[in-house]
Amino acid sequence: MSGIREKKESYWTDERMELIIGNLLRAGVIIAAAVVFLGAVMFFMHHGGATPSYRVFAGEPAYLRAIMPVVHDALAFHGLGLMQLGLLLLIATPVARVAFSIGAFALQRDFMYIIITCIVLAVLLYSMMGGTL
């Protein structure tokens, strides 16, 4: 019986956490790149023949500066929406890594790292909201 308990506790070793976090980061970057690539393909299929104006820089449209319109556009397979969603996924990848770390440290009962990682997550979320509450 004690052998089962020892095996269960040893599952969340530092090496195991590093492996899972590495896979999480790798998957996040690959998925984000695939979504951006798909968005670029869709965009060029519809706007590939347009002549760009290099005199004036036009950023993304105003409606693509919020999460819900980006998701709506991406689900409609609009190129700009897909590219914006890919960038959001890329930004969300390290945030997911920090959130996973909190859970993993909780399973290890490493309370000092839980506190530090919660502070890091709070700073990340605060800065993503533009530094305003």
Q: What are the tens digits of pLDDT across the range 40-63?
A: 999 888 877 777 777 887 777 888
The domain of 99 spans: 13-128
What is the DSSP track for 22-84?
Answer: HHHHHHHHHHHHHHHHHHHHHHHHHHTTPPPPSSS---S-GGGGSHHHHHHHHHTT-HHHHHH
Residue 29 lies in a domain: yes
- What local confidence, expressed as pLDDT, does residue 32 receive? 96
pLDDT tops 80 at residue 23: yes
Which pTM was predicted?
0.76
Round to whole Å and give the CA distance between 90 and 77.
18
Q: How many domains does the chain have?
A: 1
Q: Which helix (DSSP H) or strand (DSSP E) does residue 133 occupy?
A: none
Percent of the chain with pLDDT over 90: 45
Residue 6 lies in a domain: no
pLDDT tops 60 at residue 11: yes
Q: Scanning the structure block, which residue is given the tokens 């984000």? A: 32
